[in-house]
Amino acid sequence: MSGESNERKKSSKSSKSIPRFFYGTAWKEDATESLVFAALEAGFTAIDTANQRKHYFEQGAGDGLNRFLARGGKFREDIFLQTKFAYARGQDHRKPYDEKDSFTKQVRDSFASSLEHLRTDYLDSYVLHGPYRGTGIGAEDLETWAAMESLEQARALGVSNINAAGLAELCRRVKKKPAFVQNRCYAKLAWDRDVRDFCRAEGIRYQGFSILTANRSELASDCVSSLAAKYGKTIPQLVFQFCHQLEMITLTGTTNEQHMREDLNIGDFELTTDEVSKLEAVGS
């Protein structure tokens, strides 16, 4: 069995596909383990978390993942696992490093802690949880990114909460450009079109979060309601399918198990080009 698992690990390094749906674990606290387990049972194959105890319970995500794997039938390499390094300004007192240390050591300590929390020996994606100063790329970010580049157990790198100018600057100044960008996605900003366009041009995969919660008023429009009715889908199902047709990886953090299953059940319809255009303009 171990030989088979090792072979699966070797082959997965280069051939692992990237799911188009991630289950997000922010703000779940003590329910994190049970919700991650439920999401995986519902059919999710990607988990997003962060080593930022202020907003995430990374160990709970690891407990839920390993409880699911212990049931048999799935292996660690079947699950896309992503976590993040967060600077001290985004943390509370429960930091996974000593903030007096260099950023290089902070990254290494946080990463080691993440591997322990998640009970894994590698991560599919390791994400910088936003630039140090909020916008632009400073010396702090370049040191942090270089430390992330040196992590052999991180198969891909990403950055979150970044604008198009900051992303372009990061790509110019680092050796290994991000494979992923993860941003809060606002309909009023054409679903983060500037960043998405840059990602498409550079071969970077865009991950959108707060798809529903950041766009409540726009999703209450007649346009959205009528399209959902046309296809016999819920508004979240319609919106997630729209995002996927924009080549966006979407995150959902629903705590409702029925909604978990519904969110994944969107493979039986496709919006027309005109309908996609109407939804892209719904916030304008």
Tell me: pLDDT of 13 over 60. Answer: no
Domains of the chain by range and CATH? Answer: 20-215+248-271 (3.20.20.100)
For 245-254, write each residue's pLDDT tens digit: 999 999 999 9
For 120-142, write each residue's pLDDT tens digit: 999 999 999 999 999 899 999 99
Q: For residue 224, what are its two tokens?
A: 């959205």
Per-residue pLDDT, 79: 98
Per-residue pLDDT, 16: 73
123: left (phi over 0), alpha (psi -120 to 50) or beta: beta
Alpha helices in the chain (DSSP H): 2-15, 32-42, 58-70, 103-118, 139-149, 164-173, 193-202, 216-219, 222-231, 235-245, 257-264, 273-280
pTM of the model: 0.93
Per-residue pLDDT, 82: 98
